[in-house]
Amino acid sequence: MTCVKRRAAPLNVAIDNIEGFTTYVGNDNMEIPMTYHHGNLKQALLDRAAEVIADQGIEALSLRALARDVGVSHAAPARHFRDKKALLSALATEGYLRFSAYVTQAAEEAGSDPVARYNAMGRSVIRFALTHRAYFTTFNHPDVTQAADEELRKSHKEYMETVLLAAAEARNAGWHPDVDPLVLMAFSS
């Protein structure tokens, strides 16, 4: 059963159907497929924002267009994001969480040698940037980093601590033993 949203004349009647969607019934009975299921608007907006950024860049992003794309009123995104900066900060935070998991997985797959693990982490950064362009672009965008909220700063800090620890372990295993791990990390991340 396909759920639809019907455009109606001035008097709309909302009817909840058994699938949890709301169907709007009006005089003209024009049907428009709903692309959004209530209860997951925040994630629907983040997912669509990532698509827009990957295709058109951050500058093309607008909350009004996202709302239209996911099938909600232009005011609905305000329930989750006060403005575009808040949405970008949430997307960047999600990106850092995915990025950290991706880099950590690469290190795990490289085995127990600290230098091999660190090198695998470095290669995974490049792969992530190429395959998850929207996230990488977002969390490295100067406007996003400048307006970072506490959650984004925390995600970034945790990632940097992971890389610093891996650099220190590689150094302790003989890779550039006389160089500070902060310097190693700066030139390899």
> Is the pTM value of this prediction over 0.85?
no
- Give residue 185's pLDDT: 87
The set of residues, in sequence order, having a beta carbon less than 8 Å from that of 130 and lying 6+ positions away, is none
User: d(Cα 151, Cα 144) in Å, to the nearest integer?
Assistant: 13
pLDDT tens digit at each of 189 positions of the chain? 444 444 433 433 343 333 344 444 444 555 444 444 557 899 999 999 999 999 999 999 999 999 999 999 999 999 999 999 999 999 999 999 999 999 999 999 999 999 999 999 999 999 999 999 999 999 999 999 999 999 999 999 999 999 999 999 999 999 999 999 999 888 775
Residue 22 pLDDT: 43
Say what the pLDDT of residue 136 is: 97
Q: What is the pLDDT of residue 189?
A: 59
SS (H, E, C) the chain: CCCEEEECCCCCEEEECCCCCEEEECCCCEEEECCCCCCCHHHHHHHHHHHHHHHHCHHHCCHHHHHHHHCCCCCHHHHCCCCHHHHHHHHHHHHHHHHHHHHHHHHHHCCCCHHHHHHHHHHHHHHHHHHCHHHHHHHHCHHHHHCCCHHHHHHHHHHHHHHHHHHHHHHHCCCCCCCCHHHHHHHHC
Number of CB atoms found within 10 A of residue 22's CB: 12
